[in-house]
Structure 1
Amino acid sequence: MSYLGLPELIGNGLLSVTESSIGFILVMILILLACGTFMDITPAVLIFTPIFLPISQTFGMDPVHFGMILCFALCIGNMTPPVGSALFVGTSVANVRIEDVIGTLIPYFIAVIIVLLLVAFIPQISLLLPNLFNL
């Protein structure tokens, strides 16, 4: 991907869609949530970090804050249907059908999406400990 310059092409395409940091964060979150439902977290981090990190730094985003958004959005995507592997593992361990669990989990999905948006748009939440220890 790096040899072909794919991260730069995707980054330029993303910058052509939005020029504000808020728009970039929202688009990034939507992409990560969608990809998190279909991909495992580790390869997704390896694929999306070189694409999104340079763009986030042009908007002045702290790398720790970026990492929190990236990991949090991918983890939420990993537990949501249709593919959410964590959801399938949990239902198989509990020996329940996935259809019986989805309705109960909707309020929790809404809550974690709200927390993701809070972390994304209030950087002090994710930067509290690094700032506390002067890192």
Structure 2
Amino acid sequence: MYTKLFGILLLGATLTSTALAEDLPSSATVGSGGSAAAGGTSASTVGTGGISEGVDGSQSSSIASGGSAATADGKARSDTKTVENPNQLKSQSKAMAQDKGTFSRSQTKTRVRDDALTSTTRSMSHVPGEKPVKSTTTTEVQPQ
């Protein structure tokens, strides 16, 4: 009788763990960042976002973004804006440093929605008389 009972308990545990594996909540994260530098200027931005679903079906989202800029003698500025509405979270960070004709700039846009998370960073630096140096990084994730 002990062997029969042990086999039934073991079978019950196996069925329970299989059912839980199918009902796991989904989650996803996304992010991008970049920087540019030329002469005595530099600029960097970064953005990240995430979404997760609880076992009870509730959903939560988060977003973060920021940037910085620096220069030896010119002007530097950075700005971040975040917008929240029932459909999505959006954030954008911009940073730019300029010293005479030399400049560096970076911009990151991040968006979190139920069906897709995206983050794109564009950076550029330029020295007068030279070809600009550009880079773009994009990541996109669809929650499962």
Q: TM class by shorter-chain length?
A: under 0.3
Q: Which has the larger radius of gyration?
A: 2
Structure having the larger proportion of residues in strand: 2
TM-score after normalising by structure 1: 0.19
More helix by share: 1
